[in-house]
C-alpha cells in the first residue's frame, strides 16, 4: 500500500494564482503496515489534505472516501506497456481504479509510471501514448477537468543543472519529452519532478555545502549565483526546480507548472552515510515545509507555488539497499513520529508532535493469547493500575480481552509519557488518534483522565524482540465472565518492583 497527495494547478500557464500545498507519499514496504483506516486517521490528525499513492490499492481508496483528501493514484511501471499499447486496456484501468471510487474518493491526478525514462527505458516509446490513452478514458467519462494526467521524472534527466539557466534535458529523450510537454500543456497538467537534494549533496564530493542542501541560512557571499541571470540561489531545491523550468524553456515550453512529487531526507544511514541523521532529516523537511507553504517560489518564478509531496509518511523497513533506503519516513509504522518537525509558526499541517492526541490500543485482529500475555504484563511488571478493569468498575465492560488489553496498553503508554517503543507489546498494539474512552470509562491521556508520568527512562513494554512476557498476573476471559488473581497480591508484587 502506499500513499501521496495532490492539489492540481488550474492555470495553463505558470502563475502565482494557487497556494502551494504539502503532501505525502505512502510506501508499501512496511513490515507491519497500519490498516487503511489507521493511515487515514493519521492523515487527518496531521491535517494532510493531499496524498500520493504508488498504486490504486482498493482498501486505502475506500478509506479515503468522503474525507476530502486529494489523492494522486499511480499506474505502476509493470502495467505501463499494456496501457501504452491499448486504448481499451487504459479504459479498463480507469473503470476499475478511478470510476469505481469517484466522486466519494477525491482523485485529482494520475501518475502514469514512475521515473520511466531512467528506470524503465524500454517503455519510453509508449509513455506518451499511455498518458494519452488514460486521458482519453477520462474525457469519455467526463473526468478530465477534475483529474490531471502526468508522469514522474527523476531530476537526473536534467543535464548541467547549474547554473540553472544552462540546464537542458538529456537530448536522447527529446523524442519523448517534446510530445510529453505538448500533452501536459494542452491538457493543463504539470511536470511531475522528484527532487532529492540529499543525493545531489552526497554525489557532489563535498562541492555542495551541507547547509545549501538543508535550506539553512547562508551569508550572501556563500549563495550560488547564476552568472547568466544574476539570480541568487540559497538552496539546492530551488536550483533543481529552476533548472527544470529552464530545460523546458530550452524546448520552447514556458507555461507548464512543476509539482515536486518526491522530496525528503533520510533520518538514518550506515557508516558510509554520515549525513543521513535525525537532525538533518528534521532540518531539511522542516525547512522544506516552511519554504513551500510560504509560497516563496523560486528565483526564476518568485511567488509561484511549488507544491511538494514529502517522501514519505512511514519508514519502509522492508526496502532493500543501504540503511538510508529504509528511513525516509516521518513516522514509524506504529504512528510514532521518527522526529518532531520544527514547525513553530508554520501552520498546522504536519505538526507531527502527536503526543497530546494519541492513544495505544490493541489490534482487533491480534492473537488473543498474545493480547492476554500483554495484558498480564502491563498489569504486572508494567506497574499499570488495572483496578478499573475489575467487575463493577467503570472499564469492566465490554468484558473481552481486546477491550481490557486496550485499557492496560494505553495506561502503560501514557504512564511512560508515550516514549517510542512503549506501544508495541510484541506487535499486538498500535497508536491511534481516536480516543478509546467510552461511557464512564475514561482512558488515561483523555481530557479529564489521569496524566501519565514517566516511571522509567527505559521502555519496559514487551517488544518484538522480547522472548517472554514475564507475566505476574493473569486475566482470563470466557463465557462473558471476568476472573482475576487477587488484586492485593498483584499490588504486593508490584510493590516489590517499585
Point out the residues that are catalytic: 115, 262
- Tell the residue number behind the cell numbers 500483554, with chain if given: 374
C-alpha to C-alpha distance for 330 and 266, rounded to whole angstroms: 9
In this structure, the chain runs to a length of 498
CB 333 within 8 A of CB 31: yes
Inter-CA distances, 57 with 61, 147, 484, Å: 6, 18, 44
Residue 240: name the closest of 185, 200, 184 by CA: 200
Q: Which DSSP letter does residue 195 get?
A: -
- Tell the residue number behind the cell numbers 529552464, with chain if given: 246
Count the alpha carbons within 13 Å of 374 in the hemisphere toward its beta carbon. 36
CB atoms under 10 Å from CB of 290, counted, come to 19
Residue 421 has which C-alpha cell? 517503543
CA 236 remoteness from chain centre: 22
C-alpha to C-alpha distance for 331 and 31, rounded to whole angstroms: 14
Residue 334: name the closest of 457, 464, 445, 460 by CA: 464
Residue 460 has which C-alpha cell? 519496559
C-alpha to C-alpha distance for 452 and 252, rounded to whole angstroms: 62
CB 110 within 8 A of CB 55: no
Amino acid at each position: 500500500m502506499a500513499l501521496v497527495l495532490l492539489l492540481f494547478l488550474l492555470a495553463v500557464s505558470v502563475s502565482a494564482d494557487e497556494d502551494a500545498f504539502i503532501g505525502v507519499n505512502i510506501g508499501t514496504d512496511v513490515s507491519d503496515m497500519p490498516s487503511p483506516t489507521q493511515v487515514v486517521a493519521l492523515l487527518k490528525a496531521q491535517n494532510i489534505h493531499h496524498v500520493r499513492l504508488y498504486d490504486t490499492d482498493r482498501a486505502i481508496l475506500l478509506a479515503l472516501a468522503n474525507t476530502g483528501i486529494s489523492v494522486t493514484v499511480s499506474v505502476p511501471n509493470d502495467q505501463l506497456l499494456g496501457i501504452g499499447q491499448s486504448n481499451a486496456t487504459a479504459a479498463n484501468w480507469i473503470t476499475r481504479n478511478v470510476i469505481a471510487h469517484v466522486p466519494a474518493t477525491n482523485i485529482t491526478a494520475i501518475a502514469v509510471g514512475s521515473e520511466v525514462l531512467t528506470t524503465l527505458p524500454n517503455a519510453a516509446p509508449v509513455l506518451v501514448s499511455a498518458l494519452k490513452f488514460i486521458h482519453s478514458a477520462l474525457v469519455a467519462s467526463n473526468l478530465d477537468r477534475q483529474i490531471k494526467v502526468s508522469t514522474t521524472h527523476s531530476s537526473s534527466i536534467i543535464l548541467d543543472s547549474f547554473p540553472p539557466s544552462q540546464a537542458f534535458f538529456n537530448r536522447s529523450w527529446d523524442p519523448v519529452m517534446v510530445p510529453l510537454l505538448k500533452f501536459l500543456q494542452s491538457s493543463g497538467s504539470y511536470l511531475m519532478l522528484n527532487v532529492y537534494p540529499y543525493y545531489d549533496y552526497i554525489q557532489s564530493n563535498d562541492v555542495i555545502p551541507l547547509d545549501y542542501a538543508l535550506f539553512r541560512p547562508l551569508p550572501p557571499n556563500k549563495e550560488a549565483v547564476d552568472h547568466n541571470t544574476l539570480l541568487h540561489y540559497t538552496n539546492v531545491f530551488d536550483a533543481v526546480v529552476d533548472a527544470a523550468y529552464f530545460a523546458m524553456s530550452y524546448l520552447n515550453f514556458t507555461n507548464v507548472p512543476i509539482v515536486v512529487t518526491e522530496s525528503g531526507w533520510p533520518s538514518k544511514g550506515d557508516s558510509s552515510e554520515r549525513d543521513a541523521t535525525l537532525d538533518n532529516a528534521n532540518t531539511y523537511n522542516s525547512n522544506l515545509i516552511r519554504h513551500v507553504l510560504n509560497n516563496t517560489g523560486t528565483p526564476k518564478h518568485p511567488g509561484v507555488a511549488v507544491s511538494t509531496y514529502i517522501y514519505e509518511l512511514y519508514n519502509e523497513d522492508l526496502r532493500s539497499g543501504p540503511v538510508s533506503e529504509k528511513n525516509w519516513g516521518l513516522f514509524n509504522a506504529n504512528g510514532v513520529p521518527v522526529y518532531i518537525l520544527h514547525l513553530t509558526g508554520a501552520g498546522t499541517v504536519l505538526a507531527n508532535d502527536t503526543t497530546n492526541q494519541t492513544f495505544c490500543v490493541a489490534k482487533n485482529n491480534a492473537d488473543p493469547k498474545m493480547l492476554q500475555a500483554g495484558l498480564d504484563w502491563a498489569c504486572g511488571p508494567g506497574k499499570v493500575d488495572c483496578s478499573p478493569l475489575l467487575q463493577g468498575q467503570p472499564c469492566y465492560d465490554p468484558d473481552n480481552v481486546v477491550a481490557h488489553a486496550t485499557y492496560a496498553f494505553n495506561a502503560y503508554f501514557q504512564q511512560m509519557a508515550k516514549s517510542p517503543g512503549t506501544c508495541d507489546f510484541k506487535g499486538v498494539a498500535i497508536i491511534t488518534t481516536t480516543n478509546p474512552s467510552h461511557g464512564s470509562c475514561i482512558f488515561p491521556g483523555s481530557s479529564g483522565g489521569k496524566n501519565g508520568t514517566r516511571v522509567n527512562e527505559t521502555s519496559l513494554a514487551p517488544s518484538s524482540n522480547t522472548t517472554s512476557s514475564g507475566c505476574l498476573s493473569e486475566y482470563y476471559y470466557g463465557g462473558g465472565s471476568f476472573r482475576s488473581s487477587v488484586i492485593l497480591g498483584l499490588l504486593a508484587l508490584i510493590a516489590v518492583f517499585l
